[in-house]
A and B are shown apart, each in its own frame.
Chain A
Amino acid sequence: MKEPPSSWEDSSPERLYVITGGRSGPSTAVHLDLVTLVVAKGPPRPETQPEQAAILRMCRSPLSVAEIAAYVGLPVSVVTVLVGDLMAAERVHVRPPVPAAQLPDLALIEAVIDGLQKL
């Protein structure tokens, strides 16, 4: 399950909590899940944090949170924190995925089938 021991060079001196400022989830109330589409409103400003700048450049066309996480090589939670910050700064639009169709309860369907069969 574990990769062969990677060299020091694989890691970077900074740890993830510095990137997120110690947060593990987005501060905004908007729910961000893996398939939420993110699209940038404009190019990154010079003072933008590098990870956020990368997300902004990447999201010139809409990209899902999961894809962003894969490209930047960061865990999804980190990406949601960063995207949440970008949303708070109004630098990105997010579009929640189309919700799955609301199917009625299985028990209810069975009850209807039963009722129909009894007719």
Chain B
Amino acid sequence: MEQKDIPPESVHSEEGRGPVLATLGALAAACLVGALLSSSEPVGTGLIAAGAACTAAVFVEALRRGRALAAERAQVAALRHALSRQEAEAIRLSAVVLPEAIERLRRGELPEEVLTALGGRRGHGNRWGNDAALTPRFRAALQAVLAHSVDAVDNEESLRDSAQRAFVNVARRVQAIVHQQAQEMREMEDRHGTNPDVFGDLLRLDHGTALIGRLADSISVLGGARPGRQWSRAVTLYSVLRGAMSRIIDYQRVELHSVSEVAVIGPVVEPLIHTLAELLDNATRYSPPHTRVHLTAVEVQSGIAVEIEDGGLSMSEEARARAEKMLAQAQSGIDLNDLGETPRLGLAVVGRLAQAYGFQVSLRSSAYGGVRAVVIVPQHLITTASAATGLAHGIGSSSGPRAVAATPREHPVHHPSAGVSAPRSARVPAPGPAPVSGGPTADRTATGLPQRRRKDRVTTYDYDTRPAAGPQSADDSGPGMWLEAFHSGLSGEPGQDAQGAEDASGSATKGA
């Protein structure tokens, strides 16, 4: 604080009167000594009178000073009180008000709102206003500190926001290119499917593109956005797991075990694929190259548990704690500065996705000696497999028995609505006419497709469970009959497969 606030007159009065009081005292003492030593009466009387006068003056002065001292003490006490109030306010500003302001800004409140609530610029000092111990200057200073801090934090936040938006923007563009690329790649794979050499090269390129796509997804997640594309319909868990495998380098080392027949609802398909891909990537990266990584999915009480186990080095308790801490930290928000120091972006991304979509992720040591990562997908994100599309390339991705494509052979049309089992054969570049050069072909169907005739018996088998289905009994009834028998057997057979087959053929005839 400034000197002016201390009353100036009290300082000056002390300085001027000190010597006066001493002189008066010395004069009184001198008079007394003179009176005792002097022999003459009048002189003695005069000296005594003078001494008495001096003594009286000293008394008067002493009394006056006593009063002044009391007044000053009171003033000092008041000042001390003001000082302690100011100190307390300064401490409260730093310990309570500023953290609260920053916290509110981080939560996304507007700076003006925060200032108003906390008694800053527009708050008219209502928080500090009714205390007389705080001078207006001091109040103004506190408000200024608060306002400046809030502005600085707000600037920082908006800078970070725009940086993140830039991130996400770039990532989105990369994703768009990658997606386009992936689609074209798929068309090329169909087109050059008959040439194994070209096809192998295409597969490698396709894989590289998928890896780029995963990086772009990670950037986008770290920027606070969705990982990538949206799926509007549910996708079976099996496809999701293989989708996750598609996006890592060492997918050949991943062993996909039993998968329960459920599907994941559309909005969480992509986040789940990305989460699993990051965990699989960690598992393959931090385990020896010749070991396998095991991927399973089982139903549990609270949903579906997807387990990823590797045979790498076991995590020490400390490393595990660090990794889980990183997951937890990521769930409360990612500090981009921290990421620079830790190269394992993966866990940060996993934590972020887990928090946003309600997956539970835990890391434990595995029975294989390595790490066992378990992702629990809650029940409300799971649906039945029959509701799902996006099945493994249109042929039913569950491993159990299921109706095969019962579309009539003459009309291999692509039916998006058929969903479960409509073949995507329309996109295959006409493999149909190719067998013309083969030996045993003769007739043509109504649409001109060649129809093979049977010349010799080819081994067939009978399902033990369906002895009466008997399409094979048509073997000798005439050329070309086996195919019809095949289709009628498929579309007409009883049991669990009938429903799907009927659906498929129903939509096929609609399409035709």
Contact = CB atoms under 8 A, between A and B. Distances in A.
Interface of A: 2-3, 5-6, 8-25, 34-35, 37, 39-44, 46-51, 53-54, 57-58, 60-62, 64, 66-67, 69-78, 80, 93, 95, 97-100
Contacts of B432: 66-67, 70
Nearest to B459: A93
Contacts of A99: 439
Given A35-B435, A37-B458, A43-B401, A73 B424 contact: yes
Contacts of B407: 71
B390 interface: yes
A17 B206 contact: yes
Interface centre among B238, B416, B434 (most CB of A within 10 A): B434
26 contacts: A8-B232, A11-B182, A12-B393, A13-B242, A14-B242, A15-B246, A16-B203, A21-B252, A24-B197, A24-B203, A25-B196, A25-B200, A39-B461, A46-B400, A50-B238, A51-B395, A54-B396, A62-B460, A71-B405, A71-B412, A73-B394, A75-B194, A77-B196, A77-B200, A80-B196, A98-B440
A10 B412 CA distance: 16
Say which size band chain B's interface belongs to. 35 or more
Interface in B245-301: 245-246, 251-252, 258, 269, 273
Interface stretch (B302-310, B357-365, B481-489): B481-489
Contacts of A6: 183
Interface centre among B200, B207, B251, B393 (most CB of A within 10 A): B393
A66 B435 contact: yes
Given A14-B392, A70-B431, A76-B431, A22 B251 contact: yes
Given A73-B423, A100-B439, A17 B203 contact: yes
A58 B401 CA distance: 12
Interface stretch (B67-75, B160-168, B185-193): B185-193
A11 B183 contact: yes
A2 B482 CA distance: 36
Nearest to A80: B196
Given A15-B210, A47-B399, A54-B396, A72 B196 contact: no
Contacts of A19: 242, 392-393
Contact of A34 (B187, B194, B440, B486): B194
Interface string B115-137: 00000000000000000000000
B316 to A, nearest CB: 33
Interface of B: 179, 182-183, 186-187, 189-190, 192-197, 199-200, 203-204, 206-207, 210, 229-233, 235, 238-240, 242-246, 251-252, 258, 269, 273, 389-402, 404-405, 407, 412, 416, 423-425, 427-428, 431-432, 434-435, 437-440, 452, 458-461, 463, 471-472, 482-483, 485-486, 489
Contacts of A17: 203-204, 206-207, 246, 251
Nearest to B489: A60
Contact of A9 (B398, B416, B459): B416
A11 B210 CA distance: 13
B461 A41 contact: yes
A73 B425 contact: yes
B279 to A, nearest CB: 16
B458 A62 contact: yes
Nearest to A38: B458
A12 B428 contact: no
A53 B412 contact: no
Given A17-B206, A17-B246, A18-B245, A70 B183 contact: no
